[in-house]
Structure 1
């Protein structure tokens, strides 16, 4: 939904490079398109925003939490089962206005988006990945080109940020395996340290009551294989009954 118009313009030769939020891109791309580069990743964290509480733990009993992300809803419900999830769509300004109007007591937005829009001052509390994993590819910008366009591929790849590329491709490989099996909430974060890659990931039930986490590590050259392996281990840990129960909801 978020990438369709730009992708179509690329296929129609009206543009040569498509710029996307990487987390919006499908894990299986058409043969006619490839990712040429990732820009250096912004802050990967989710931002808690509220006018009535300084953190999720401080929201009132039975409070209203605004989000349309199944991942964020499940993670919040895991922490606070008493909270009521209310739909929260629209751009950043629309969601901030909904908070001001009392539609919800709090919401979550990506730190990266807020920073890029100059809205960082709106953040009540950044949520650290150790306790609140972000969405796969969160905070990364991807450049897409036509697969047969060698000139655009060369131009875009010249500004590729290799550490971001390895990390995000690991997360996308994980998501690719999970997307083929379930529609449950998925969170993941891969990080590079001197060529060594680590990835942490989790899947949850829609209501947050069930939770499975796995991690993996290896060299940056193994990034995609590591992500896929973690995904397979998550599916094995959750079991077929878990997948069947939540995949059709």
Structure 2
């Protein structure tokens, strides 16, 4: 093993304390170790780990990342691994997402009693989720379900079904896979049925913008197709001026230089929903990431024009000054 050039000690990787977070961070650490680097995990407690109130009440945007970013800025750690869907859209001064490794499965999953699926759950079935986005889509698809707010780590949420407290829960499939719990899944929900959160299934590896040595080691971990896809998805949130707790979904794929983007927005209580499906070619674009961002922003603007502007959480995250004047025309 070697230390990072320019650093006379092991690389310090900050992570939340949950089993899923340490598993994800361990994956990135192993990628760096495979490149001959020595890496140590540093456990950091965030507000989202200690405050058990619903995310929509405590302000979901940033509650899982602020403490990690503070540790980066004060030099306590050299890099941090985040679930990309937890990151606010706007990047803080002094920090940069140096890598987005290849994405895990972005789909949501249903874990239900008796092997039930979303279609076969009986009327009145109790379904748990901590996500306004999932709640909105569940009620749009199955208004007869009893959707209940749920917090806790992945095993705890699954246990509510095994214990009979709930009939089903909806979770992110990426976390299920990373924890080796796929046997509990009774249905993988396709994007046509449940549009995922922007960035879901992807990781963001963040470091200080002026730390050239660490950035040089992180950049080879970046997957260009994942980066383009999540750039488009997060640009939808940016155009909507929405945080990660808004009832908004966005999912993009890149294949043969073609970017396809599917979006959803709708009220948590059910009712009229807003959806867009668009494509753009990245193959001939001078800057593929700028093209991906432009498509996402145009799509988010279209959703606002159609009525998504009235949804809770939309229009609540200020845009940076250099985008305020152009956001309606991009």
Superposed pair shares fold, TM > 0.5: yes
Q: Distance in 2 between matches of 1:47 and 1:80?
A: 16
Residues 85 and 202 in structure 2, CA contact (< 8 A), matched pair in contact too: yes
Residue 292 of structure 2 is aligned to residue 223 of structure 1:
yes
Residues 140 and 270 in structure 2, CA contact (< 8 A), matched pair in contact too: yes
1:11 corresponds in structure 2 to: 73
Task: State the TM-score, normalized to the length of structure 2.
Answer: 0.71
Residues 182 and 247 in structure 1, CA contact (< 8 A), matched pair in contact too: no
Q: Deviations over 1:12-46 (max 9, x none)?
A: 11111110110011111211111111010011110
1:122 corresponds in structure 2 to: 184
Q: Distance in 1 between matches of 2:277 and 2:313?
A: 24
Residues 49 and 107 in structure 1, CA contact (< 8 A), matched pair in contact too: yes
Q: 2:193 aligns with which of 114, 119, 131?
A: 131
Q: 1:237 aligns with which of 306, 322, 327?
A: 306
2:143 corresponds in structure 1 to: 81
- Shift of the 52–247 alpha-carbon distance from structure 1 to 2, 3 Å rule, reads farther
Q: Distance in 1 between matches of 2:138 and 2:237?
A: 21
Of 144-153 and 159-168, more deviation after overlay is shown by 144-153
Q: Distance in 1 between matches of 2:293 and 2:246?
A: 21
| Higher RCO (C-alpha under 8 Å, 6+ residues apart) | 1
- Shift of the 247–196 alpha-carbon distance from structure 1 to 2, 3 Å rule, reads closer
Residues 184 and 205 in structure 1, CA contact (< 8 A), matched pair in contact too: no
Residues 3 and 25 in structure 1, CA contact (< 8 A), matched pair in contact too: yes
Shift of residue 78 of structure 1?
Answer: 0.7
Q: Distance in 2 between matches of 1:189 and 1:182?
A: 14
Residues 183 and 247 in structure 1, CA contact (< 8 A), matched pair in contact too: no
Unaligned runs of 5+ in 2: 1-62, 283-287, 317-330
Q: Deviations over 1:118-173 (max 9, x none)?
A: 11111111011122211111100110111211221221111100100000111111
Of 171-180 and 77-86, more deviation after overlay is shown by 171-180
Residues 197 and 223 in structure 1, CA contact (< 8 A), matched pair in contact too: yes
Shift of residue 111 of structure 1?
Answer: 0.9
C-alpha RMSD of the superposition = 2.0
Unaligned runs of 5+ in 1: none
Q: 1:51 aligns with which of 97, 100, 113?
A: 113
Q: Distance in 1 between matches of 2:66 and 2:276?
A: 32
Partner SS for 1:90: coil
Tell me the number of residue pairs that the alignment of Structure 1 and Structure 2 aligns. 247
2:64 corresponds in structure 1 to: 2
1:32 corresponds in structure 2 to: 94
| Structure number with larger C-alpha Rg | 2
Q: 2:104 aligns with which of 2, 17, 42?
A: 42
